[in-house]
Amino acid sequence: MKDKGKENLSGTGPLLSIVIPLYREGAHFGTSFSEIRRCAESTSLSCEYILVDDGSDDNTWEVIEEICGKDSAVTGLRFSRNFGKEAAIYAGLERTSGSAVIVMDGDLQHPPEMIPEMVRIWQGGKAQVVNTVRSGRGSRFLGYKLAARLHGMILNTLSGFDLEGSSDFKLMDRAVVDSYLRLGESRIFYRGLVAWMGFRQVNLPMEFVEGRKAGSSWSLPRLVRLALNSFTSFSTLALHLVTFLGLLLFCFSILLSFNTLLQWMQGSAVPGFTTVILLQLIFSSIIMIALGIIGEYIATIFHEIKNRPRYILMKEFARPDRSPDGE
Ligand code: UDP
Ligand code: MG
């Protein structure tokens, strides 16, 4: 393992690492990075930057290479394909050696002006994790806002942590990063797991900023996958709910059959057709939902036991003495 926090590249004091996952950000990242850099360096700490290209199909990697070529404080990683933001964050965190690490988006939607304040809180010893909490969702369409709110509410209930509005823009102390990297699961949910790990955490409010690129790189299926992953990686409550519902329905159907039998014995036989159809519909849909939820968990088990790497690297651009295998 590398000597943590000893490298001083510029500036003074402990090293601050900044991890930025990037997917199709080539068009603006050159200027966005200068801004991030200016804010990070205004803390007067020495800074290193880990830029992770998550298999972009635009010129993101070329932009990263150009930045790396000019600046030894920057390490660039390139995935062999798109492995997702969570994997990119993990890979970036693995390369950090700072005493504090900040993870942020590359499209300036996480205001870099907040970095000095986050660092101040960490240096004051008040917190080992500085979270930023979104206060709005900007001009996104109503359906998205409603879905995000619903997701937040379910997640809070299932996980027992207040994750609504929490973002991936966080400062973490070295101890927190090391613990995070030791977590064994491969389907990681960064935001939730950082909350789960504990330590002393402080929340800072963050205004919603429109990103530099048009829209978001999250399509609806990807968002749904992330939402399902966030639920199953946190609790098995949904499974228990299915069992409970099943029992409740069983009691209900026993009562109903008594009622039907009684009517039959009294000779007032029910036409029954509607009831049968309704019951069949209700039961088959509940069975399907139940199977779906069980399937989700089985899928998670399936992913975990395969023990695949979280990502595959295609290229790495780092100063020879800073690259893990001394390339
Ligand atoms: N990102 C990534 N891999 C992906 C999708 C996104 O590394 O598959 C990065 C992206 O480059 C950005 C951050 O994750 O730095 C947030 O993505 P985006 O701005 O598209 O999402 P949103 O603003 O909707 O949260
Ligand atoms: Mg964005």
For residue 82, the ligand 1 atom closest to its alpha carbon is 8
Q: How far is the CA of 37 from the centre of ligand 1 (A)?
A: 19
**pTM for the full predicted model:** 0.76
Quick: pLDDT tens for 29-64. Answer: 999 999 999 999 998 889 999 999 999 999 999 999
Alpha carbon 45 to its chain's center: 27
**What pLDDT is attached to residue 251?**
77
Quick: pLDDT tens for 55-109. Answer: 999 999 999 999 998 888 999 999 999 998 999 999 999 999 999 999 999 998 8
Tokens of 174: 């070295």
**What pLDDT is attached to residue 320?**
58
* Residues, CB-to-ion distance under 5 Å, ligand 2: 107, 109, 211
Instruction: Specify the higher pLDDT residue, 86 or 151.
Output: 86
Highest mean pLDDT among 137-146, 209-218, 289-298: 289-298
Q: How far is the CA of 29 from the centre of ligand 2 (A)?
A: 12
**What pLDDT is attached to residue 23?**
94
Q: Is 26 in the pocket of ligand 1 (CB under 6 A)?
A: no
Whose CA is closest to atom 3 on ligand 1? 85
Nearest to 21 by CA among 52, 50, 49, 48: 52
For a ligand 1 pocket test, name from 25, 59, 64, 85 the mutation site with the most ligand atoms within 8 angstroms of its C-beta. Answer: 85
Quick: pLDDT tens for 233-267. Answer: 777 777 777 777 777 877 777 777 777 777 777 87
**pLDDT level of residue 326 (50, 70, 90 thresholds):** very low
Q: Report which bound ligand comes closest to the CA of 24.
A: 1
Does 169 score more than 90 pLDDT? yes
Does 214 score more than 50 pLDDT? yes
Report which DSSP code applies to 125: T
Whose CA is closest to atom 24 on ligand 1? 216
Q: Report which bound ligand comes closest to the CA of 91.
A: 1
Q: Is 103 in the pocket of ligand 1 (CB under 6 A)?
A: no
**What pLDDT is attached to residue 5?**
40
Four-residue CA torsion sign, 162, 168, 170, 173: positive
Q: Is 217 in the pocket of ligand 1 (CB under 6 A)?
A: yes
**What pLDDT is attached to residue 223?**
79
CA geometry: angle at 41 spanning 40 and 45, to 5°? 95
Instruction: Specify the higher pLDDT residue, 207 or 113.
Output: 113
Q: Report which bound ligand comes closest to the CA of 216.
A: 1
**pLDDT level of residue 7 (50, 70, 90 thresholds):** very low
Q: Report which bound ligand comes closest to the CA of 32.
A: 1
Q: Is 53 in the pocket of ligand 1 (CB under 6 A)?
A: no
Q: How far is the CA of 88 from the centre of ligand 1 (A)?
A: 10
Q: Report which bound ligand comes closest to the CA of 211.
A: 2
**pLDDT level of residue 321 (50, 70, 90 thresholds):** low
Q: Determine contact, residues 192/233, Cβ cutoff 8 Å.
A: yes
Q: Is 234 in the pocket of ligand 1 (CB under 6 A)?
A: no
Query: Poorest-confidence range of 219-223, 231-235, 270-274?
Result: 270-274
Q: How far is the CA of 99 from the centre of ligand 2 (A)?
A: 27
Q: What is the mean pLDDT of residues 213-231?
A: 75
Instruction: Specify the higher pLDDT residue, 195 or 265.
Output: 195
Does 307 score more than 50 pLDDT? yes
**pLDDT level of residue 209 (50, 70, 90 thresholds):** confident
**What pLDDT is attached to residue 298?**
80
For 129, the 3-state DSSP assignment is strand
Q: Is 15 in the pocket of ligand 1 (CB under 6 A)?
A: no
Q: What is the mean pLDDT of residues 277-294?
A: 76
Q: How far is the CA of 92 from the centre of ligand 1 (A)?
A: 14
Per-position b or e across 101-127, b if 16+ CB within 10 A of its CB: bbbbbbbbbbbbebbbebbebbeeeeb
For 225, the 3-state DSSP assignment is helix
What are φ and ψ of residue 131, in 5° steps?
A: -90, 155
Q: How far is the CA of 13 from the centre of ligand 1 (A)?
A: 31
For residue 107, the ligand 1 atom closest to its alpha carbon is 15
**What pLDDT is attached to residue 244?**
77
Four-residue CA torsion sign, 201, 204, 208, 213: negative
**What pLDDT is attached to residue 264?**
73
Q: What number of residues does the chain have?
A: 327
Query: Poorest-confidence range of 56-60, 127-131, 264-268, 316-320?
Result: 316-320
Query: Poorest-confidence range of 1-15, 187-201, 228-242?
Result: 1-15
Q: Is 108 in the pocket of ligand 1 (CB under 6 A)?
A: no
Q: DSSP string of 20-77? A: EEESS-HHHHHHHHHHHHHHHHTT-EEEEEEEEE-S-SSSHHHHHHHHHHH-TTEEEE
